[in-house]
Structure 1
Amino acid sequence: MTVSITPKQFHESGGVDDWRVLWSVAFALYRTGDFATGVRLVAEIGRLAEAAGHHPDLNLRSAVLEVRLITKDRWSLTDTDLELARQISAAAEALGVRADPGSTRTWEFAIDALDVDRVRAFWCAVLGYETAGDSGIADPDGLYPPVYVQQMGVMREGRNRIHIDVGVPHEQAESRVAAALAAGGRLVTDRFAPMHWTLADPEGNEVDLATWVGRD
């Protein structure tokens, strides 16, 4: 039986040093060095995934391969993801491919709304997306960033109603906040840190810098 696990349980398990959980997804970023090596690693991941009956999302570029693992019918990590992550790490090591966990990241758009369903319908039409869960919309092919529509009781004024959520490894978060402030940004609030910090660029455009910490 498949068992759900938390990000903390995933990270405390052995054999997953290549991986970082961003929100509810386990990511690994491999520096393949060249496209042919990336293709070989993809082929090995494909073999492992077929044997497990569990399929990750892969993003292959000329010298980089990103792997994402989550159990989609639960939208959570499970022991199946954990075991496949270990196998993928072993396959990468056998091919001499190194992971670069510090460069792992993901992002989405977030929109404040009073009527979530109407706002979602508009953005689905514009982007060719479909609804996902209670408040999100997503590319049906999984190729482009999702959009989170955030329910508001009262529309806030004086601040952006659209912002970007950026997910980073938990050990990178504070240094990323410091770098953003050094680059001219400002801290809007750290009320929810270390789960997320809200920052703004020099002209007030906002971003939430987020980790899994605090979500378990």
Structure 2
Amino acid sequence: MSDPTTAEAGGLSPAAFHRSPDVADWRVTGTGPQAVFAATSLAHAAALVAPVVAEAERTGIEVDVDLRPEAVIVRIPNRGPDGIAAGAPEFAAAVSRAAAKLQLTPDPERTQSIGIYVAQHSAADVRPFFTAALGYEEFGETDAVDPLRCGPQLAFNPITGDAPSRGRTHIDVFVPADRARVRVDAALAAGGRLVDDSHAPAWWSLASPDNHGVDIASWTDTFD
């Protein structure tokens, strides 16, 4: 996990997105703003698709929609390094109004995205291997993504204490800022170990009982 130091150029920051009106149902994760609306059935969840498509066409926002019998998830994925699109808050507010009319209940607690932080020796470039093996595409200067945005995003960065033939990879879990501490506490209660909280509340570094690394991160939901 890298400490963010500058806002994404050309787009809205997460904090600016959250300052916009009528976006309380939404949270910003590592892949962009998203909202989860609880549903009573697949048909109930699917009823939001038509309004989402209409608002996406009206605002020019490219979105992903994930249907489940329990919920419909609407995401505004980051398509490049420019941050959140300027029209995203207008789109998000309109979708929330449509969801309310359909009695789809917002459930921000279930909002999250998963990333894999692939650490590598600085003399090696492992991104071509992973993109080929997973069928991913390069994203920006250091990351790789599933072309259909179904799998976790990968980030490739040199390890600290550089040493050949040694790799350390961990999972990044991006959660809403108001739920991060709860998620950390749950992981610790389930047998995890706190490795580093010096960056909290931006992120906490944890380890599983057998020493696999997981970072619980909330900075994507607050960064300005």
**Is 1:48 matched up with 2:49?**
no
Q: Secondary structure at the match of 1:59?
A: strand
Distance (Å, rounded) in 2 between the aligned partners of 1:24 and 1:127: 18
CA separation of 1:81 and 1:74: change in aligned 2, threshold 3 A: farther
Code of the residue aligned with 1:215 in structure 2: it is F
Query: 1:193 matched to which residue of 2?
Result: 200
**Is 1:69 matched up with 2:76?**
yes
Query: 1:136 matched to which residue of 2?
Result: 143
- Structure 1 residue 62 displacement after superposition: 2.0
Q: Give aligned-pair identity as a percent.
A: 36
Could you tell me whether the CA contact under 8 Å between 1:108 and 1:147 is conserved in 2?
yes
Task: Choose which of 9, 19, 28 in structure 1 pairs with 2:26.
Answer: 19
- Structure 1 residue 69 displacement after superposition: 1.4
Relative to the length of structure 1, the TM-score reads 0.90
Code of the residue aligned with 2:223 in structure 1: it is R
- Structure 1 residue 42 displacement after superposition: 0.7
Q: Secondary structure at the match of 2:87?
A: helix
Code of the residue aligned with 1:39 in structure 2: it is A
Could you tell me whether the CA contact under 8 Å between 1:71 and 1:81 is conserved in 2?
no
The runs of 4+ residues in structure 1 deviating greater than 4 Å are: none
Query: 2:38 matched to which residue of 1?
Result: 31
- Structure 1 residue 215 displacement after superposition: 3.2
CA separation of 1:6 and 1:141: change in aligned 2, threshold 3 A: same
Code of the residue aligned with 1:32 in structure 2: it is A
Task: Choose which of 174, 177, 181 in structure 1 pairs with 2:184.
Answer: 177
1:45-194 correspondence to structure 2 within 5 Å: 45-70=52-77, 72-115=79-122, 118-152=125-159, 154-155=161-162, 161-194=168-201
Could you tell me whether the CA contact under 8 Å between 1:114 and 1:154 is conserved in 2?
no
Q: Deviations over 1:104-134 (max 9, x none)?
A: 1111111101248730011111111111111
Distance (Å, rounded) in 2 between the aligned partners of 1:137 and 1:6: 21
Distance (Å, rounded) in 2 between the aligned partners of 1:31 and 1:86: 17
Query: 1:215 matched to which residue of 2?
Result: 223
Relative to the length of structure 2, the TM-score reads 0.87
Q: Secondary structure at the match of 2:48?
A: helix
Distance (Å, rounded) in 2 between the aligned partners of 1:191 and 1:150: 20
Instruction: Flag the structure with more relative contact order, 1 or 2, with Cα contacts below 8 A and sequence separation at least 6.
Output: 2
- Structure 1 residue 48 displacement after superposition: 1.2
Q: Secondary structure at the match of 1:110?
A: strand
Code of the residue aligned with 1:182 in structure 2: it is A
Size of the aligned set, in residue pairs, is 213
- Structure 1 residue 4 displacement after superposition: 2.4
Q: Secondary structure at the match of 2:94?
A: helix
CA separation of 1:151 and 1:214: change in aligned 2, threshold 3 A: farther
Distance (Å, rounded) in 1 between the aligned partners of 2:175 and 2:197: 16
After TM superposition, the structure 1 stretch with the greater mean CA deviation from structure 2, 46-55 or 93-102, is 46-55
Distance (Å, rounded) in 1 between the aligned partners of 2:163 and 2:209: 20
Could you tell me whether the CA contact under 8 Å between 2:13 and 2:84 is conserved in 1?
yes
